[in-house]
Structure 1
Amino acid sequence: MITRGDARCTYKLDVDAFPPDTGTGTDDHLESTARRLPHDCVAIRMASPDRHQNDQFVCVGSKIFAFYKDKDAGRSTMVYDSATSQVAVCPPLLAPKDLAEFLTVGVDIYVIETDYDHFNYNFVPSMEKLGPAPHRGWGEWRWESLRPPPIKLPIFVSSQAVHPDGSTIFLSVADRGTFSFDTGRLAWTRHGSWLLPFDDKACFVRELDAWVGLCSHQKGHIAVCNVISPDDGRCECLTWTTVKDRVYNNMWKRYLAASLTYIGNSEFCLLETITRKGYDIFTESRTRMLLRLATFRVERQHSGEVRAVDMRTMLYKCPHWELECCRSPTAFWI
């Protein structure tokens, strides 16, 4: 599923219908092969009184949450269940979350915020937890305030990865190092001053016994990293490698953003946002754009080299991108 932040519209797309990648990536090729997002694939369209509202979409299981990130802490969160096609409402965050970091572990959602206290001239940390989902017919969503993490402020998470134990999440915080959070014991551990080699989220691939995500050191490539034990509090470094194959081109001026979604069985879906030919994001507030979706498998060859294989791509035209929204479309696998 793809959620467009500007129109708050969610599309359900069939990745199995994507044709094999031809390897051609010229401007003319992109424009001529792109098709419109099909109207019959719209799963839900949510209206909002403020189209420039800064929000965050988070997926847990079959549910997509639309969190409102602004100074108004009284706005409820919309929840769309793709399994039942029903929309529900859960309580608003306990406090405003302008610069929040959202973490998902199992069926729970954690939110870390480092707000700036203009009265006392310092950063104020906070942490909240939402979950689990209420049972049908009784109960309700509930936010719980937790003790903030013991990390020097401000907290800017550069990458995150859930451990295969299913209860521990690793976070790399810019200029701070890498930490893990045990959601069962609500305990934090610092593992070193190094950072995970990923942009945003990485996923555990059982077939490779490693975390896989977009590489932060070589843009356009995939990074494969060994899994760190939550009990290893003195790890000085970690072992990782870069997949040789380039999965997207971030060097050209039309590139806007890219994100990676794990499908399962070593297969991934890449969502790349590209401006349409002739549009300039620096001079126009409403920019027409293209969405490039690519599916591929990350496999270890007989030689031991890890490659991205069986790539299939599809290009879609998206009406426009509101620069004020500061949010590119987001992809989920449900």
Structure 2
Amino acid sequence: MAMARGRSDDGTRAVKRRKQQKRLYVLVDDWERGYSVQKLDTDAMDADDDSISNLNEIKPTRFRDPPVARMEAQHARSWSFVAHGTKIFAMQPNNSSPAIPALDVATLSTAICPWPPCRCDFGRPLFVSLAGKIFLFLSLHTYYIDISTSSSKAAAAAMPASWTTIHERLPFAVTQVSSYATHPDGRTLFVSAGARAYPDPDQRQRHGTFSFDAGILQWTHHGEWLLPFEGQAFFDRALGGGAWVGLCRIDHDNGGATAGRLCCCDVVDPNSGSTATPAPRTKLLEEKLFDKAGPGLPTLHVGATLVSMGGRGEFCLVESRMHDDVRDMLRDYYPREQLDWRALSRRVLRVTVFRLGFDEATGALRVVSRRRTRRAAKVFRQAHCWGGPSLDPIVFWI
């Protein structure tokens, strides 16, 4: 009898493990009314192909059709989407939408989230999933909504009625945010932002790095230095006991030498005050993972997004590029009326899955392993103008 229960328990645990297994989801703006949600099988990238020296040799293939799902939303930049639990929220849906749509990739069901009070114009906001809530940071106000991430059907279907407003100006200009990262405590957000001048001295916002405690809803200024990243960085416990990892902020003073590289830095203590917090130690990955422009060639690079695949040193980088077929067109600078706009609307997504670690001898950050496969490049055609607002790929590991 006990053995039978044991087999049943093992089977239940196996089912739960399969249900909890995460996947890579890419939102592709190939639909006039919004985005197609595509799921990429990173497990198919396990076997290295020694015949591939770089992703330039891979002929891109089309995404699966039909997609996993479609989401109606404005064609906007990647910051207008946020993942919370197993749901993807299109925070800037079409203006006619009665609410914000949310796709649950675990159940492929759709839910709706109410509009925040500022539904008319978000400007350039910062959306973050933190401590069980979705936060919307704007320069004048902050809004948050508490959304359950429970897997039960009843909890998943119960959406809150409204957003809560924090009537307090941010200590920085949200339009100047260069990077952000969540602390491993799960309740603290770190944000780096540049300064913006205001005619009124009382409205000036500070330069540097700040932390936000989602429990007490307060900001702390940690110093007039910036985290070394561009966009979102991720905590990874496998690197030296824990570090933040992200795409490097471009060093324009050094000829853009950091473009296309990753870096990591120590995690900052949220309890340290501004006078006691030095800038964290940073390590740069010497290898370039992508090139924004080749020597003497027009750039085909459009944008790139890094995602963490579980916090154990494994990451996925998705680069968006124009198709190689348009290189001659860009080099020759055709008159605008002669450009082939249909050709220019083609996008190639290059997917690289790799593991990071530290060199035992030098302590340098390096790529320990890499998955190379001929399935690692996908092509699609944008539904809107090729020079539209979608730059960095919209990618989630859920």
Task: Give the TM-score normalised by the residue count of structure 2.
Answer: 0.73
Q: For 1:43-122, list aligned pairs within 5 A.
A: 43-47=68-72, 52=75, 56-68=80-92, 75-95=98-118, 96-114=121-139
Tell me the SS of whatever aligns to 1:68: coil
Q: Percent identity?
A: 29
Measured in 2, the distance between the counterparts of 1:138 and 1:311 equals 41
The structure-2 alpha-carbon separation of the partners of 1:332 and 1:139, relative to structure 1 and needing over 3 Å to count, comes to: closer
Partner of 1:271: 318
* Distance in 2 (alpha carbons) for counterparts of 1:54 and 1:24: 28
After TM superposition, give the deviation of residue 93 of structure 1 in Å.
2.1
> In the alignment, is residue 140 of structure 1 matched against residue 168 of structure 2?
no
Q: CA RMSD in A?
A: 2.5
Q: Establish whether residue 180 from structure 1 lines up as the match of residue 211 from structure 2.
A: yes
User: Residue 125 of structure 2 contacts residue 136 of structure 2 at CA under 8 Å; is this kept in 1?
Assistant: yes
SS at match of 1:135: helix
The aligned counterpart of 1:310 is: 369
1:1-334 maps to which residues of 2 (within 5 A)? 1-7=25-31, 8-18=35-45, 20=48, 22-26=52-56, 29-30=57-58, 33-39=59-65, 42-47=67-72, 52=75, 56-68=80-92, 75-95=98-118, 96-114=121-139, 125-133=140-148, 135-136=155-156, 138=158, 140-153=160-173, 155-175=175-195, 176-208=207-239, 209-216=242-249, 217=251, 218-233=258-273, 234=275, 235-252=277-294, 253-264=299-310, 265-279=312-326, 287-303=345-361, 304-313=363-372, 314-320=376-382, 322=384, 323=386, 325-328=388-391, 329-334=393-398
* Displacement after TM superposition at 1:2 (Å): 0.3
Q: Distance in 2 between matches of 1:6 and 1:63?
A: 21
Farther off after superposition, 195-204 or 231-240? 231-240
Amino acid across the alignment from 2:303 = A
- Write out per-residue CA displacement over residues 69-95 of structure 1, whole angstroms, 9 at most, x where no aligned residue: 78x597511000011110011111211
Structure 2 unaligned blocks of 5 or more: 1-24, 149-153, 196-206, 252-257
Is 185-194 or 235-244 further displaced after alignment? 235-244
Say whether the 8 Å CA contact 2:302–2:322 is kept in structure 1.
yes
Whichever residue aligns with residue 377 of structure 2, its letter is L
Deviations 1:148-207 (A, max 9, x none): 344144642110011111100000012311100000011110011110000100111111
Distance 2:162 2:226 in 1: 33
- Whether contact under 8 Å (2:320, 2:350) holds in the other structure is yes
Compute the displacement of 1:258 (Å): 0.4
The number of aligned residues is: 316
Distance verdict in 2 for CA 1:103–1:23, change over 3 Å: same
State the partner residue of 1:118: none
Select the structure that is richer in helix. 2
1:310 and 1:142 mapped to 2: Cα distance? 46
Structure 2 Cα separation of the partners of residues 166 and 54 of structure 1: 26
Q: Which amino acid aligns with 2:380?
A: C
Q: Please tell me whether the aligned partners of residues 100 and 112 of structure 2 are also in contact (alpha carbons under 8 angstroms).
A: yes
The answer to whether the Cα contact below 8 Å between 2:301 and 2:322 also exists between their aligned partners in 1 is yes
Match of 2:7 in 1: none
Question: Structure 1 or 2: larger strand share?
Answer: 1
Q: Which moved more, 1:133-142 or 1:16-25?
A: 133-142
